[in-house]
Structure 1
Amino acid sequence: FRTFALEEERLTSFLPRKWKVVVTGCPTDCAAVKLHCLAFTPARGADGTLGYNVHAGGGLSDSPRVADALDLFVTPDRVTDMVRATLQTYCDLGDFEHKAVNRFRVLVHQLGPERITEELRRRLPYEVPGAGESLWTGEFEDHLGVHEDRHGSHVVGLCIPMGRLTDEEWFEVARLARTHGDGGVRMSQRQNLLLTGIGDVDALLREPFLDTYRPEPDQFERAIVACTSAPFCKFAIDDMKTNGRKLIAHLREHVPDEGRERLEGLRIHMSGCKASCAQVQAAQIGLRATMTKDEEAYQQALDVSLGGDLGAGRLGQWVRLEDTIEDTWDSVTEILRAVCAGELTLDDVTPAGVGAYFSERGSDLDG
């Protein structure tokens, strides 16, 4: 892709601030495929050839939408041709007079997936077959834990709460990778670390570092992701890394141990502003920093979304705005206690499901 970008300077120089392309060979959705401008997911063509199906038009922020599946199948050697054709389509048809809406996802929304597919076919110098048999399930996966690889070694995924390490801890990560593995360290989309080529897994698991950064964390450490936020981001309203740690502690204290296994697959995303860098609408529970005003002064607050599930092709919807942090913590706790008690499932954590639950108890989801 680096060589491609240099060769295609004419096409890449006009791009907006974000142009997101993902290529995944994984059957599960560890790359949040549906949130990218252009995505390639594993598939098998009609003749049995392995390659990729194509998706286009995903993204969040001011005009959120889930990417559409296109009726296209490409082999690995033709991925860059498809990217080039997509850029040409964007360059020819994008709205450059209105910068605020000049995003590829807006163009896909306006033209529709069938028209986009036609435009891509016109710009390719060969026939492109229709979508192949999908080998991509779209199921959520964070790759934490111990997993055997195809070479007989193991990959060990470590949970890094809030995705933050000190410089000394990074040196320790490097030592662990070299001592116990092949020296490889991968960073996941959920801000965790994967150590590759691990031979003696038990020896790695005995390392003191893994007492803190665990391959099998509790449900709350595993669930909560926060963006960079304050003080390192100029757009951030609040420090969501710190708030995330506080929320983990709050949930550990107030959600009972019994029934916590029902929280497997829980996702809570926390964003410091409206830019959706933490992909808040992709989680069952999304929390977005804002401000509210009481009778005396402004104070930190949160907007709450519910129901995000990329595997189901669904983005979360905003259900409460400018809640105080304390009220938000209490609402999240009540929802998760209901899941642990079997009164709700994670699939019920939607505006309709949670709204009905609150209504039955004489309260109002909208606050």
Structure 2
Amino acid sequence: MTEAFTRAGTPPLDLLDLDGSLTEEDRQIRSVVGQLVATRVRPHVARWYEIGQAPVRELAVEFGKVGLLGMHLTGYGCAGASAVAYGLACLELEAGDSGVRSLVSVQGSLAMYAIWRYGSEEQKQQWLPRMAAGELIGCFGLTEPDHGSDPASMTTRARRDGTDWVLTGGKMWITNAPVADLAVVWARTDEGVRGFVVPMATPGVTAREIRHKMSLRASSTGEIVLDDVRLPADAQLPAATGLRAPLSCLTEARYGIVWGALGAARDCLHAAIDYATSRMQFGRPIAGFQLTQAKLADMAVELQKGYLLALHLGRLADAGTLRPEQVSVGKLNNVREAIAIARECRTILGANGISGEYPVLRHANNLESVLTYEGTSEIHQLVIGQRLTGLSAFNG
């Protein structure tokens, strides 16, 4: 369910009355996304998770209709919303399921952003309007089977052959890959790391679904194999030179995670409060016991602190001053606290906490993936440590 509103429209978990600091447009966008999640995701997501499959293409079209895909980008059919509004949308999406938010994040903040930021005008016109509408699905090929946190060691190669490029290599753990129409693939060339727009129907491209996942089961994840894939010269993203380009795309995606993780935590806390106020033990609701109230209070405080952090980062982003290490602070804190909240809520639900009839363990399992993708907690600790000390520990 979306968050109920009481006391003149204030959400009951908004202990600090932070809702009043949002603009009317922010609240309207949040409401639209919350209602979409309530009607299109919540009634079905437990089954999607159980069978390990979600209707990704159908969802993409529906999300496109309300402007969710690439919503923080401008032009080319994109909504041009604020960073705060985009964050609120991510929060509502992940309150439904982390996998559903991942669909939107990968489409908009990775694949579309890479083309929008580094592509030619022709590439933008060719791909972005249909991606914004959900007619085309994109994915982002950076992670490799042996190179996750160390993308600088990627082995995927792109070599020139006349005016063409020929790509060889493989990418792993790529969200949307099995259903994607195009991939933004990063490869090493003689001139350094470069990005390429690769239509998935190109000869030599193979996508394989990764099965038996215990997390993000309502998301399509795959491996991409590139076997002498021949691309025209104009497939290269002309402004993407060096590893800084894909890393900037990751910063975009990580920002959405800062907000999204709060949605999963909020949904768990709602479930725990609803359960605790109705579950009778020893002749009274368990919400009336001191230990339960202490757990709920601590979780609500952490949720509010995470929201304040996300809101601050969103306003920095809207001002154009947000730095990558600040996003690392947000992802490190909010995902870490969200997974702690999910686990604590599971204890309040007791045995029912492991049931698919409640969202808590599904969120906890999903957050295990969120904890490590787009940079593990350890990577973000090192980013912050480098900022604090001026020394890089990545090779130490």
Normalised by the size of structure 1, how large is the TM-score?
A: 0.25
Higher relative contact order (CA 8 A, sep 6+): 2
Larger radius of gyration: 1
Normalised by the size of structure 2, how large is the TM-score?
A: 0.24
